[in-house]
């Protein structure tokens, strides 16, 4: 028998939702993406794309466009905050080890590439479609305009604040961590005008500075035209509010005083869920809706890409609608343990990256870092 082509609704036009739309549409399914916002809007700025994501993106026919738009940043330097001493490298030799480079990219460019790919594959994408209620048993969605959506499968890719996940598990919510992320974008001209910074944009670069309870990750994006800086550590910000303006005096107190403006957000994460699917398996969670994690392995978006590929691969085995339940169970079985392990490691890195000066920090600094970035 030929594979069954399903009617799939995806809620959310972020990186995970658009990746799922592309994979599923390329497999012949009828895919419709609904997005509450009125346009594409990706918060944040820089993002890292590791070889595990690029292998999947290559299978979608997107390697060349990502290599064109991204910056090849294969070696990240680890430095000590006090004196800039190089502690080691990680992510070295990714091309030799995994056949793909590590890329750094502007998040908006990442989202736009996937949007174009989903549209080209035949997915429809509608904006201004806010979900106001969910029947998790059928399942079905009711939109703000009164429309009711029923599909063979509904994929909730609506982020860390997922309304659909909240309907499935009302007592489980994302929780704030002690850390905030402060994000700065500097232009190449700004960097070149400062002798202390100019060397960082002469070629692709990625640097991590470790300090007490804080660390900085900084790298080039849009080739060498922009420099993305994320400063992570204790701070105050509202949970669920993205790109909140930050007080530069607050930033200068703890980090550097280079920037003209800065934005911040509270870093939050999601507890492990009992399941990623409803009772009949025709409603599934994907990406941050299922496993929102701290960014301390740079794997949040990549795990959503993996979700999309596995879900599409499982559904390719469907011969009838009765198969959906066991195939979405297979999706959960394959993905849940891995994503939760990466989430736990990311949380653990909060301590490792921010050890205060002392014996533990000295022991960490003596360790040679592996190619995958783990300690």
State the pLDDT at residue 263.
87
Most confident of 116-125, 229-238, 240-249: 116-125
Compute the mean pLDDT over every residue in the chain, rounded to the nearest whole number.
91
* Contact (Cβ atoms closer than 8 angstroms) between residue 334 and residue 277: no
Which tokens is 69 given? 């738009």
- Give this prediction's pTM: 0.93
pLDDT at 2 over 70: no
Tokens 């502690």: give the residue: 87
Q: How confident is the model at residue 375 (pLDDT cuts 50, 70, 90)?
A: very low
CA atoms of 374 and 349, how far apart (whole Å): 9
Instruction: Of 150-154, 193-197, 252-256, 335-339, give the lowest mean pLDDT range.
Output: 252-256
The predicted pLDDT at position 248 comes to 61
- Check residue 309 and give its pLDDT: 98
pLDDT surpassing 60 at residue 371: no
Quote the distance between the C-alpha of residue 25 and its chain's center: 21
**E strands, the chain, where?**
7-11, 30-35, 46-49, 71-72, 76-80, 86-90, 103-106, 124-127, 131-135, 140-143, 148-149, 153-156, 175-187, 206-211, 214-221, 226-234, 244-245, 263-269, 283-285
CB 15 within 8 A of CB 307: no
Residue 29 C-alpha from the chain's centroid: 25
* 293-336 confidence digits (pLDDT tens): 999 999 999 999 999 999 999 999 999 999 999 999 999 999 99
d(CA 93, CA 44): 28
Q: Is the pLDDT of residue 275 over 50?
A: yes
Report for 192-196, 208-212, 259-263: range of highest mean pLDDT: 208-212
Query: What backbone phi and psi angles, to 5 degrees, belong to 156?
Result: -90, 105
Please report the DSSP string for 259-282 in residue order.
-S--EEEEEEE-PPPS-SB-TTS-
Are 152 and 321 in contact, with CB atoms under 8 Å apart? yes
Q: How confident is the model at residue 30 (pLDDT cuts 50, 70, 90)?
A: very high
Least confident range from 72-81, 176-185, 255-264: namely 255-264
pLDDT of residue 290: 98
Q: 197: how many CB neighbours lie within 10 A of its CB? A: 17
Residue 200 DSSP label: G
Determine which of 67-76, 195-204, 250-259, 336-345 has the lowest per-residue pLDDT on average: 250-259
């Amino acid at each position: 028998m030929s594979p069954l082509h399903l009617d799939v609704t995806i809620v959310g036009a972020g990186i995970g939702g658009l990746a799922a739309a592309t994979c599923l549409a390329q497999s012949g399914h009828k895919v419709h993406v609904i997005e509450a916002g009125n346009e594409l809007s990706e918060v944040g700025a820089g993002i890292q794309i590791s070889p595990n994501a690029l292998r999947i993106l290559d299978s979608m026919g997107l390697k060349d466009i990502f290599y064109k738009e991204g910056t090849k940043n294969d070696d990240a330097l680890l430095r000590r905050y006090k004196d800039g001493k190089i502690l080691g490298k990680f992510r070295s030799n990714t091309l030799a080890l995994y056949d793909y480079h590590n890329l750094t990219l502007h998040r908006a460019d990442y989202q736009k590439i996937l949007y174009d790919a989903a549209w080209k594959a035949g997915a429809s994408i509608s904006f201004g479609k806010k979900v106001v209620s969910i029947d998790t048993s059928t399942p079905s969605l009711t939109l703000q305009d009164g429309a009711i959506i029923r599909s063979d499968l509904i994929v909730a890719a609506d982020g860390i604040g997922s309304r659909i996940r909240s309907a499935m598990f009302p007592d489980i919510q994302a929780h704030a961590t002690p850390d905030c992320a402060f994000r700065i974008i500097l232009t190449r001209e700004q960097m070149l005008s400062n002798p202390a910074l100019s060397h960082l944009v002469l070629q692709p670069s990625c640097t991590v500075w470790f300090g007490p309870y804080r660390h900085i990750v900084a790298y080039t994006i849009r080739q060498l035209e922009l420099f993305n800086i994320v400063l992570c550590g204790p701070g105050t910000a509202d949970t669920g509010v993205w790109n909140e303006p930050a007080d530069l005096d607050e930033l200068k107190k703890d980090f550097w005083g280079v920037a003209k403006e800065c934005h911040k957000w509270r870093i939050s994460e999601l507890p492990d869920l009992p399941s990623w699917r409803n009772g009949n398996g025709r409603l599934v969670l994907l990406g941050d809706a299922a496993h929102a994690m701290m960014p301390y392995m740079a794997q949040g978006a990549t795990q959503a890409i993996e979700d999309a590929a596995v879900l599409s691969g499982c559904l390719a085995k469907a011969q009838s609608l009765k198969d959906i339940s066991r195939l979405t169970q297979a999706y959960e079985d394959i993905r849940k343990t891995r994503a939760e392990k990466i989430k736990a490691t990311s949380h653990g890195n909060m301590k490792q990256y921010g050890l205060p000066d002392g014996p533990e920090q000295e022991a960490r600094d003596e360790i040679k870092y592996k190619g995958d970035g783990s300690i």
